[in-house]
């Protein structure tokens, strides 16, 4: 039975997984959190007035109605203890209390950390970068690895396409928006093919639109699902470097491709390795 209180709390904007678990440890249950007084909530480190107002504004009936609509649209709601919640993410201190997924969701429970390769990089790669991303994904898929990326244009799209080009290849697209509003709109049916043979995953409401904070935050999930992380091509200032930094903080090995971009050079200078085909 889906815990509507749990989901309602996890959907509060800017209430991190870490704060969610802090509240749960402090109050003992989701129902106690929701019914707690302003003073009791403010006594918890990290809780401010905005969070208090958001908790007190929760409508469980609205959440239940939304869940019914999302499930009718083919969305699976995965709370932390759910069968198909990816095991690799459970070890993160800010693991999403709830994930939403579309596609071959049952395959998420079978993912093993050592069998997942994250492939990330710039939205505007060189032809070499695009080709390498595709080839790395093909090789990983032939070895039985799942390819994890963020479904952006450029390197991400090449990685997903590479995985889907192999019979039995499996890919997970971690979104910075809701799984019912995937962004960006890819040509050649990539979105549909991911849903048919892979999974789309997000930690925000399924109908949420893309935002910069969500795009940044999803990188910790890309790295959290994977071991290792391969950054194919990026400038030092590029968005893909967030995945690299999250991977380093999580103790994951980071690899890069033989491309003379500033992000690639940073990785090599800071303990990363070049990945061979």
CA 197 to CA 168: how far, in whole Å? 8
> C-alpha 242: how far from its chain's center?
12
User: Average pLDDT in the 16-39 region?
Assistant: 97
What tokens were used for 46?
A: 């990290």
Q: Mean of the pLDDT values across residues 28-49?
A: 97
* Cβ–Cβ < 8 Å for 2, 77: yes
Whether the Cβ atoms of residue 172 and residue 148 lie closer than 8 Å to each other = yes
- DSSP E strands in the chain: the ranges are 76-79, 98-103, 116-120, 146-149, 171-174, 199-202, 229-231, 254-256, 273-274
pLDDT of 185? 87
pLDDT tens by residue, 209-227: 999 999 999 999 999 999 9
Q: How many CB atoms lie within 10 A of CB 192?
A: 10
Say if CB 264 and CB 257 are below 8 A apart: yes
Q: pLDDT for 122-140, tens place per residue? A: 999 999 999 999 999 999 9
Q: Which of 271, 273, 270, 256 is nearest to 121 (CA)?
A: 256
C-alpha of 86 from chain center: 11
Cα distance between residue 81 and residue 243, in whole Å: 25
State whether residue 159 is helix, strand or coil. Answer: helix
- Residue 199 φ then ψ, to 5°: -140, 140
Q: Are strands 76-79 and 98-103 parallel, antiparallel or unpaired?
A: antiparallel
* Model pLDDT for residues 158-197, shown as the tens digit of each residue: 999 999 999 999 999 999 999 999 999 888 899 999 999 9
What average pLDDT is seen over the chain?
96
Q: Is the pLDDT reported for residue 114 higher than 90? A: no
- CA–CA distance, 94 with 275 (Å, rounded to integer): 29
Domains of the chain (ranges; CATH) run 4-103 (1.10.150.20), 105-274 (3.40.50.450)
- Total-model pTM: 0.96
Report the Cα–Cα distance between both ends of the chain, in Å, rounded.
46
């Amino acid at each position: 039975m889906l815990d509507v209180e749990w989901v309602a709390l996890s959907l509060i904007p800017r209430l991190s997984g870490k704060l969610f678990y802090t509240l749960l440890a402090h109050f003992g249950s989701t129902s106690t959190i929701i019914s707690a007084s302003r003073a009791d909530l403010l006594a918890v480190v990290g809780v401010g007035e905005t969070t208090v107002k958001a908790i007190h504004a929760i409508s469980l009936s609205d959440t239940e109605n939304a869940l019914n609509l999302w499930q009718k649209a083919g969305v699976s709601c995965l709370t932390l203890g759910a069968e198909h919640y990816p095991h690799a993410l459970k070890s993160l201190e800010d693991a999403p209390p709830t994930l939403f997924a579309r596609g071959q969701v049952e395959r998420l429970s079978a993912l093993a950390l050592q069998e997942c390769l994250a492939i990330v990089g710039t939205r505007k790669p060189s032809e070499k970068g695009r080709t390498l991303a595709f080839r790395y994904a093909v090789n990983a898929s032939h070895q039985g690895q799942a390819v994890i990326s963020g479904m952006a244009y450029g390197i991400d799209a090449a990685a997903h396409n590479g995985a889907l080009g192999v019979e039995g290849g499996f890919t997970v697209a971690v979104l910075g928006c809701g799984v019912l509003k995937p962004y960006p709109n890819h040509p050649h049916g990539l979105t549909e093919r991911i849903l048919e043979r892979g999974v789309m995953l997000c930690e925000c409401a399924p109908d949420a639109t893309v935002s910069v904070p969500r795009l940044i935050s999803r990188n910790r999930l890309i790295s959290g699902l994977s071991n290792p992380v391969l950054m194919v091509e990026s400038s030092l200032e590029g968005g893909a470097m967030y995945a690299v930094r999250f991977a380093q903080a999580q103790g994951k090995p980071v690899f890069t491709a033989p491309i003379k971009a500033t992000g690639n050079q940073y990785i090599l200078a800071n303990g990363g390795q070049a990945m061979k085909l």
